[in-house]
Amino acid sequence: MWNPEYEAMDREELQKLQYLRLKHTLERVYQLVPHYRNSFKRAGLEPGDIRCLEDLAKLPFTVKDDLRDNYPYGLFATRLGEVVRIHSSSGTTGIPTVVGYTRTDLEIWSELMARTLTAGGGGRDSVVHIAYGYGLFTGGLGVHYGAEKIGATVVPISGGQTRRQVRMMKDLGTTLLACTPSYALYIAETMAEMGLTPGDLKLRSGIFGAEPWSENMRHVIEEKLGINAYDIYGLSEIIGPGVAYECPAKNGLHFSEDHFMPEIIDPATGEVLPEGATGELVITTITKEALPLVRYRTRDITSLNRQPCPCGRTHTRMAKVSGRSDDMLIIRGVNVFPSQVESILLEIGQTAPHYQLIVDRKGSLDTLEIWVEVSEQMFSDKVKGLEQLEKAIKTEIDNVLGVSATIKLVEPKTIPRSEGKAQRVIDKRKL
């Protein structure tokens, strides 16, 4: 553990700390951010009405549109003079979201990433290869400062030029890789093309996140790179990576509860759900200075588990995020997450873990096409084998997801590779 005093804090102590920090945050936003003063007033509430942690549920939500409506600095609780860094999430449509950090915010972020890296096998002697994008995206710089904090040797390579990445990992003796899971796979593929096996490198672990990835994808990455693969979660609005991270138990991501409070709600009604129920993750920041957010709706679908973890950390564990409520495809009324399709494809095998879902509408009927690359060996095989594979995938998708799909087996390297977040869905219905 990087910081056992906090990571393994007695839960009662932790809750006391959370309450003090929450009160302070609520008072600050009420005084300093007109948006919150107005929204609290509309709900007939003042910070003094929040008398215990459960009272948090009385407060109104904050949504992405609130950030957009107050673009760029309207939700900041500090003067710009106190803000030392800006990041931004591009989003797919409209105005980007701008987030800011004070010096203290950056220190906390580094601390959280130090915890993340330590849990993911990093330490003073690690050589950390950071292939998350550097720049306005929080991945590169977020991991960077955490890796420096633990005293690791940092290689700030950013994304792109994959062959060069592999060569440098080999030459520099990289032990820990940080990038999106889809890029990790691309790196593994490139390594193989260059005639290298995991034994030629010193890689031992990887911290992968920024997009949903299935348990089966974890196994593929671990095998191809010969490493332990850990899931890390975060979002720019809250701080970036560092919100939650896996430990060696790989059974849920420890949520940094001394800085952020998680709730799970029913996305349709907004009602708080009991422990263990799956729903939308809502986060309240309790130490952020520049951009505190109260009950921020992440749109990410997960559940919480407060049972003790064998690693000794006491912070709540969040299940692997299965997808975003706004990425969830509704195909002829059936809810489908790309990660479920990924899981099925990898379970069946014989395909490469590169796939895309193409959704369209013919008349009033939704159609789902799943493009998936087959392995080199399979592709040169007889047509009969391909037909059988296609049929097996179709049947399994039908059985498990309850939706019929057309399966299109494509040649290796047909589906675009990504250096950042992979595009898994092309929804032509919106065009």
Question: Which residues would be at the binding site for ligand DLL (CB under 6 A)?
Answer: 89, 132, 138-139, 209-212, 231-236, 240-241, 298, 300, 321, 324
**Residue with Cβ nearer ligand DLL (91 or 402):** 91
> Whole-number minimum distance, CB 256 to ligand DLL, in Å?
13
Closer to ligand DLL by CB, 47 or 323: give it. 323
Of 201 and 283, the one with the shorter C-beta distance to ligand DLL is 283
Q: How far is the CB of 38 from ligand DLL (least distance, A)?
A: 26
User: Residue 255 is which amino acid?
Assistant: F
**Closest residue to ligand DLL, Cβ-based?**
209
Q: Given the complex with ligand DLL, which of 231 and 257 has the nearer CB atom?
A: 231
Least separation in angstroms between residue 10's CB and ligand DLL is: 28
Burial of 238 (0-12, 13-18, 19+ CB in 10 A): buried
Q: What are phi and psi of 232, to 5 degrees?
A: -130, 140
Rounded to 5 degrees, φ, ψ at 106 are -65, -35
Minimum distance of ligand DLL from residue 116's CB (angstroms):
9
Query: Exposed e or buried b for every residue in 182-194, given b needs 16+ CB within 10 A?
Result: bbbbbbbbbbeee
Could you tell me the smallest distance in angstroms from the CB atom of residue 147 to ligand DLL? 13
Closest separation in Å from C-beta 146 to ligand DLL? 11
Residues 6+ apart with CB under 8 A from 25: 284, 285, 286, 287, 288, 292, 294
Is the N-terminal amide bond of 72 cis, ω within 30° of 0?
Answer: yes
Nearest distance, CB of residue 177 and ligand DLL, angstroms? 12
Q: CA geometry: angle at 400 spanning 329 and 217, to 5°?
A: 75
> Is the Cβ of residue 282 or residue 311 nearer to ligand DLL in the bound state?
282
Q: Least separation, in Å, of the C-beta of 182 and ligand DLL?
A: 11
Closest CB to ligand DLL among 211 and 257?
211
Interaxial angle between packed helices 338-348 and 215-225, expressed in degrees from 0 to 180 and rounded to the nearest 10: 50
**Paired sense of beta strands 351-362 and 425-427, if any:** parallel
Whole-angstrom distance, CA of residue 362 vs CA of residue 404:
14
End-to-end CA distance of the chain: 48
For ligand DLL, give the closer residue by CB, 92 or 399. Answer: 92
Which amino acid appears at position 120 of this protein? G
Instruction: Number of helices (H) and strands (E) in the chain: give both, helices first.
Output: 12, 21
Angle, CA 202 vertex, CA 197 and CA 206 arms, to 5°: 95
Residue whose CB is less far from ligand DLL, 30 or 132: 132
Q: Which two tokens stand for residue 4?
A: 């056992």
